[in-house]
Structure 1
Amino acid sequence: MKKLNYLVLIFAAVATVTCSSGKGNQEGTSKVTFIENNAVKKIVVLIDGQLFTTFQWPENVTKPVFYPILTSEGTEITRGFPLKPKAGERADHPHQIGMWLTYGNVNGLDFWGNGSKGLGTRNQNGGVIKHLKTEKITEGTGEGFFITTESWVDTSGVVLLKEVTEFHFIAKENIRIIDRKTILTAGQKVVNMPDTKEGMFGIRVARQLELPVGGNVVLYNEDGTTSRIKDTLNIGITGNYSSSEGIGGEEVWGTSARWMHLFGNIEDEKISLVICDHPENPNYPTYWHARTYGLFAANPLGVKDFTNDKDSLNFSISPGQSATFRYRVIIATGEHLPAEEIDKLANDFALKFKSN
């Protein structure tokens, strides 16, 4: 199996937060450490000194993202395009980068699709999420976390929403977990987030974890060009979905479930990727905007699209008021996770971030 080696010490010379590396491969003994480097707009997350993921907010992207995300074996599960494109992967939807949280209609502005014309571009009606600062960083054994502040701004720079997010990183043997709790607070005006399928918490996965389907695909080439081909062989495309409600494959799109499991293989490594909803989230259990082409997203607010106009939800946040969204991401390697184990991890998450 091909391992990814990263020279994380390059960042150390200019890091504003240092990390102490340690080895530990048993549950609860792994060290979670961070390297914050505001000069390059990144926080590197390390497990026992090895790269797990990077939180970054580059100028040419319209929102903060986590990219890349790796398994405990060092295998990248996120698509490289457009930040670090790889030959043979899809070259579509350049605004779908790594892992993110945005929404497609915030007072008429599209935060989800902004940047859809490529890196460094802005759509005419696109909103931008700006990283302001890191409030706190705490390293630890088995778990570490940091807290950040962001602003959701319109095309004229007016702040619509203040975001405060806790990110927790957990290491348990062959399992890696990212928990997030995002609090969105409206400014002086009501913030309307009406129905759209374009949201909300998403991951764009590696080509191998897509579902085998037919049709035309646009693939990235070694020389930087792209080619549109009709993919009928699906060589190495191994992904499949299963939900907490027992639904699988393509049929999971538009259904509601407390968790969704995407599983497949990258080379000879069996990988599970799970997103868990939280019982205190708006409109729990969430709808799933989970696509065959590699977009894996939870969207609690796009009711109209997911119910064929049978129902709707025009969500809003009053001035000075807040809404909270909590999600757990589980990345496991070695064997595909059984439903019983996912249920346990989802139940554990339900107790975390619980309101008093």
Structure 2
Amino acid sequence: MKSLVLLATLLLTAFVSAADFTVEKTATGGALVKVDGQVFAEYVVDQANKPYLWPIYGPTGKSMTRSYPMKNVEGEKQDHPHHRGLNFGHENIGGFNTWAEEASYGTTGKGSEQRKLLGRIKHREFKELTGGKTGVIYALSDYVDQEGKVIITEERCMTFKVEGESRLIDVDVDLIASNGTVKVDDRKDAGLSIRVPHSMSVDAKEGGKIINSEGNKDADAWGKRATWCDFNGPVEGEQLGIAMLNHPSSFRHPTPWHARTYGLFTANPFGLSQLKLQTESGAVELKQDERIKLRHRFIFHKGDEKAGKIAEAFAAYAKETR
């Protein structure tokens, strides 16, 4: 009997700690996260004016972001080339734009003027790349103008996990006024984003939907405050979903959502007037060494928000110290 109990205990322990993460630096300066030997996500630092995660594979091995512009896939909607995987950007911090990139604009007229305001989130170094029961990428980056002058510094810690049948990524971002006073403007195009698979988008008309913690759906979820928001729909023959949770310690929780039916999914606590939540500007002025804390959890799950138990997942996440 004791041997059976011991065997059961060992099996249970093995099941609970089954996920084995490795995190390694890539030849191009980014980082590759694997779980049980399979690619979970790659942190890319050399292909645009900002770092991003792409690809990201969900709990069934399906890709959970749009491929464009990194890869051309027939049938995908190819708009907004700056919507790269999972990324952070802001249209105006210190006068410069890290949301868009050169391919977002034309070369003449208004486009040429907008190009002059493009900044860059420049990866500086990794403070931590570790594996084990979770995977961790802790990166430092500088937001720079076109002359390379530092506008603001970012600390980004991404923690990769497996819980039950879901895969999770905690994305903790700190924006730090490291080079004097800086203005973080009120803009619609700003925040932590993921561009979902085209088939999951509402506009694809294949059964995709948006829903938030307040019950707002599809286009009605745009600009609304909520503790979480979920995109779900078909991906290569399976019903899958992506939830983004907003931790109570995060700046301006509960965040407004810049969630679009064509597939953009952004938590944006910056654009209070541009998201039509108030008439006065929501711009923030950070003094030297002051910071904005952004705390979010992505859950890549099976089924819809109910099958993924997103409301319960938020309740647990909210109790954590972030």
- Would you say same fold, with TM above 0.5? yes
Aligned residue for 1:144?
135
Q: 1:44 aligns with which of 1, 11, 32?
A: 32
Does structure 1 residue 209 correspond to structure 2 residue 200? yes
Q: Aligned equivalents of 2:313 and 2:269: distance in 1?
A: 20
Indicate which of 194, 219, 227 corresponds to 2:185. 194
TM-score by length of 2: 0.88
The structure-2 alpha-carbon separation of the partners of 1:125 and 1:353, relative to structure 1 and needing over 3 Å to count, comes to farther
Please, which of 65, 77, 96 is the counterpart of residue 90 of structure 1? 77
Instruction: Give matches, 1:1-356, under 5 Å.
Output: 26-37=15-26, 39-58=27-46, 60-117=47-104, 123-141=115-133, 143-212=134-203, 234=205, 237-307=206-276, 309-333=278-302, 335-338=303-306, 341-354=309-322
Residue identity opposite 1:133 in structure 2: E
Structure 1, unaligned stretches of length 5 or more? 1-23, 214-233
Report how many aligned residue pairs link the two structures.
303
Give the Cα–Cα distance (whole angstroms) in 2 for the partners of residues 153 and 344 of structure 1: 40
Cα distance change, pair 188–266 in 1 and its aligned pair in 2 (3 A):
closer
Amino acid at match of 2:44: Q
Offset at residue 148 of structure 1 (A): 0.9
Match of 2:109 in 1: none
User: How far is the alpha carbon of 1:309 from its aligned partner?
Assistant: 4.9
SS in 2 for 1:312: coil
The percent identity for this pair of structures is: 28
Give the SS at the match of 2:102. coil
SS of aligned partner of 1:306: coil
1:225 is aligned to none
Q: Residues 125 and 182 from structure 1, CA distance in 2 versus in 1: closer, same or farther, beyond 3 angstroms? A: same
Contact 2:223 2:277 in 1 (8 A): no
What is residue 9 of structure 2 aligned with on the other side? Answer: none
Match of residue 7 from structure 1: none
Amino acid at match of 1:96: H
Q: What's the counterpart of residue 20 of structure 1? A: none
Q: String of CA shifts for 1:57-102, please: whole Å, max 9, x gaps.
A: 12x4010000011112111121111111211111111011000011
Q: Is the 8 A contact 1:116 1:123 kept in 2?
A: no
Structure 1: distance between partners of 2:57 and 2:135? 17
Cα distance, 1:283 vs structure 2: 1.2
Greater percentage in helix: 2
Q: Which moved more, 1:91-100 or 1:186-195?
A: 186-195
CA contact (8 A) 1:26 1:172 kept: no
Runs ≥4 residues deviating over 6 A = none
Change (3 A) 1:189 1:275: same
Q: Which amino acid aligns with 1:257?
A: A
Residues 1:255 and 1:156: Cα distance change in structure 2 (over 3 Å): same
How far apart, in 2, do the equivalents of 1:246 and 1:28 lie? 35
Deviates more, 1:169-178 or 1:295-304: 169-178
SS at match of 2:318: helix
Q: Is the 8 A contact 1:77 1:206 kept in 2?
A: yes
Q: CA deviation at 1:288?
A: 0.5
- How far, CA to CA, are the matches of 2:177 and 2:282 in structure 1? 18
CA contact (8 A) 1:151 1:159 kept: yes
TM-score by length of 1: 0.80
| Offset of residue 135 of structure 1 | 0.9
- Matched residue, 2:4: none
Q: Are the aligned partners of 1:200 and 1:297 in contact in 2 as well (CA < 8 Å)? A: yes
The CA distance in 2 between the partners of 1:190 and 1:132, in whole Å, is 21
